[in-house]
Chain A
Amino acid sequence: GENVEQHPSTLSVQEGDSAVIKCTYSDSASNYFPWYKQELGKGPQLIIDIRSNVGEKKDQRIAVTLNKTAKHFSLHITETQPEDSAVYFCAARAPYGSGNTGKLIFGQGTTLQVKP
């Protein structure tokens, strides 16, 4: 069935270093890949997303890359800051149709700790 695997489950970096989180998906029809940041006591917040017709997208210190052939995508955070500490989730969504109206399949999450 549909599945998204996310690694690592925990990641600790020094402030200023880069952090990379990787995800693989099983449904080759997936065409939309968002990343969410979840802080303690809050809901997931969309930080960046990428569609299958694009290989890379960047927004300031955050970038996402997509390899459709290998069915994996990655989140890159550069110049990390303590406020980047949170749980990050990747997700995948299949195209609309055949009963699918847009549910997201989430990875298991990565707890990022940025040490000052």
Chain B
Amino acid sequence: DAGVTQSPTHLIKTRGQQVTLRCSPKSGHDTVSWYQQALGQGPQFIFQYYEEEERQRGNFPDRFSGHQFPNYSSELNVNALLLGDSALYLCASSLRGNSYNSPLHFGNGTRLTVT
């Protein structure tokens, strides 16, 4: 049973560039959430996708956008990268279905470094 998989594992970009991170949810899950984890901090919620729509958004600028595909996989896009965007980006999946009580399962993240 495959868990949450993310690609790439590491990425180095230059300030001002754009980046796309990818996530495949755990088998059987239909909801994907993205979190940003700065060094030494807890993860911070970026947004959640369900049925290919953004359902909830955290306190992040419009430079952060996402997409969910019919197979439940998801992408996180960040435009006009800033040095402060350097962080570990975590994807988490859950099963929404008829229950809102599903635990969140995380992938190992993508380490983004902006120079």
Report whether A49 and B103 are in contact in the complex, using a CB–CB cutoff of 8 Å.
Answer: yes
The interface size of chain A toward B, counting residues with CB under 8 Å, comes to 28
Chain A contacts of B33 at CB under 8 A?
A: 102-103
Q: Provided the pairs A44-B106, A101-B48 are in contact, do residues A106 and B43 lie with their beta carbons within 8 angstroms?
A: yes
CB closest residue in chain A, given B3 = A43
Report whether B101 and A89 are in contact in the complex, using a CB–CB cutoff of 8 Å.
Answer: no
Q: Counting CB contacts under 8 A, is B105 at the interface?
A: yes
**Could you tell me the distance in whole angstroms from the C-beta of A30 to the nearest C-beta in chain B?**
14
Chain B contacts of A36 at CB under 8 A?
A: 106
Across chains A and B, the number of contacting residue pairs, with CB separation under 8 Å, is 63
The interface size of chain B toward A, counting residues with CB under 8 Å, comes to 26
Report whether A106 and B42 are in contact in the complex, using a CB–CB cutoff of 8 Å.
Answer: yes
Q: Counting CB contacts under 8 A, is B94 at the interface?
A: yes
Report whether A109 and B41 are in contact in the complex, using a CB–CB cutoff of 8 Å.
Answer: yes
**B103 CB contact (under 8 Å) in A4, A34, A43, A101:** A34
Q: Provided the pairs A34-B104, A49-B103, A103-B33 are in contact, do residues A109 and B109 lie with their beta carbons within 8 angstroms?
A: no
Report how far A100 CA is from B57 CA in the complex, Å.
9
CB closest residue in chain A, given B40 = A109
Question: What are 7 A-B residue pairs whose CB atoms fall within 8 Å in the complex?
Answer: A34-B104, A46-B104, A89-B42, A89-B43, A91-B42, A106-B42, A107-B42
* Chain A residues within CB distance 8 Å of chain B: 4, 6, 32, 34, 36, 41-46, 49, 51, 89, 91, 95-96, 99-109
